[in-house]
Amino acid sequence: MQLPSPIDSVDTKTGETQTVEIQTVETEGEAAAPQGAGEAERAPPRSSASARRTAPARIIATRFDVILVGVAALVASAVGRAVAPALPGSRAGIGGLISGVEQLAGFSTQFMAVLGVSTCVRLLLTTLDAPSRSYRSLAILTTTAGLPMVISASSRHLATGWLIALVGISAALALVAARPALGAPQSRAAGLMLLTVTLGSLVSAFGRLLALYASQEVEAELFGLARGIATAGLFIDALSVFLAAIWVARRWRFGLGLVGSLASLAAFLVWIAVQGESLDGQAWPRFLGRALSSLTAHPDPFVSPGLRYFVEIYALFVAAVTLCLRRPVGVGEALCFALLARVSGDVPSCALMLMLASLCAVRASLQPVRPHEAVSHALGRRASLEVVAATR
């Protein structure tokens, strides 16, 4: 029985099993060939499947950097924005702890800024393969203009005009990145989050700018209008957190229980904080209330403080969960950065988070869609925010 030679045509189909069988047959054919032949052995052509196997190695290397930035951003948000401002005055005799926490907050913020800027450049180079010419042009322009502002803000305070420019730059990158993200089925959740967070960032930034002008000019009516705008920004903020929680709940079987447990934990912490503020309780409830109050933005909206506290702490919980999700590639990281950047585009670190979220969303849109990664119901209905691409 004559064995097939390496150059014989073999009818192949998609699948890893057929690829392994073809390579085995070709190896046996080469072993049966005459040893005295003077022709050089020709290596089999590289298949498209083997070419695709090299892509995940590059993606994993970039994903590690992105996850490291996400962890640093979570630590900087929790320690720098909540714990460090709440410790002074909460209890006597903790001067050493206050000094140590302030140093940790400064280091984590600087570490996040430096690592975030370098990762942002790497993600920009990765997403330049996007087919949208407008995205490529605006992404290069906004990134090269926004990153120097973030670096400068890490060492000194920026003027109001520069902060307004940073809001516009980060929002422009997010809007232009939402188009390719919404066009790909696996990254539509990230694109929707970008639109929601960007809208909230612009509304809240305008409210804070109006409140600053009203405070300088002593205009009570304008300050009331600023609080109304801040209320609208808070509702948009809550909508973005709700969308991210829905995405997490649909990722696996116990996702709904997880987001429900996190919501219960957040509500319990908010109840302790509100009780500590109202009754002037012990050190721990008072510290928790001051920490949650430090997380919220100003001016104060026309809602109860408990709702504001719940949105802030629940957003941190959901952001930590989305960072742990691997599939679809890049979507979890984009949602994490978007949640950390919500309605705070005039803060340089939050503007950097929004830029990272935009680049991660575009990177997710460039990934191939695999049928087994689709999230479906048992009855065949597709999950929300996810569309399964048609395959042959």
Could you read off the pLDDT of 113-141 as tens digits, one per residue? 999 898 898 888 888 888 888 888 899 99
Q: Pick the more confident residue, 62 or 33.
A: 62
Domains held by the chain: number: 1
Name the DSSP class of 376.
B
* Average of per-residue pLDDT across 358-363: 91
Report yes or no on 150 lying in a domain: yes
305 band by pLDDT with thresholds 50, 70 and 90: confident
What is the average pLDDT value for the chain, to the nearest integer? 77
* Per-residue model confidence (pLDDT) at position 80: 86
Q: Would you say residue 34 lies in a domain?
A: no
Has residue 228 been placed in a domain? yes
pLDDT tens digits, 161-183: 898 899 999 999 999 999 989 98
Q: Which residue has the higher pLDDT, 34 or 78?
A: 78
Please tell me the distance from the alpha carbon of residue 387 to that of residue 377, in angstroms, as a whole number. Answer: 12
pLDDT above 60 for 387? no
Q: Give helix 305-324 / helix 255-279 axis angle, nearest 10°.
A: 150
Q: Which two tokens stand for residue 289?
A: 């209330």
Residue 313: CB atoms within 10 A of its CB come to: 23
- Residue 107 falls inside a structural domain: yes
pLDDT in tens, 82-95: 888 888 877 777 77
Give yes or no for a contact between 222 and 213, defined as CB atoms under 8 angstroms apart.
Answer: yes
By residue count, the chain amounts to 392
The DSSP secondary structure of 169-196, one letter per residue, reads HHHHHHHHHHHHHHHSGGGHHHHHHHHH
Q: Does residue 276 form part of some domain?
A: yes
Q: What percent of the chain has pLDDT over 70?
A: 76
Share of the chain above pLDDT 90, in %: 27
363, two tokens: 């990177």
Average pLDDT, stretch 6-24?
40
Average pLDDT over residues 315-335: 88
Whether 5 is in a domain gets the answer no
Six token digits for residue 335? 């949602």
Print the domain residue range for 215.
56-365
- Domain-located, residue 102: yes
Is residue 337 domain-resident? yes
Amino acid (one-letter) located at 131: P
Cβ atoms within 10 Å, residue 209: 17
Segment 15-24 shows an average pLDDT of 40
Q: For 138, which DSSP code?
A: H
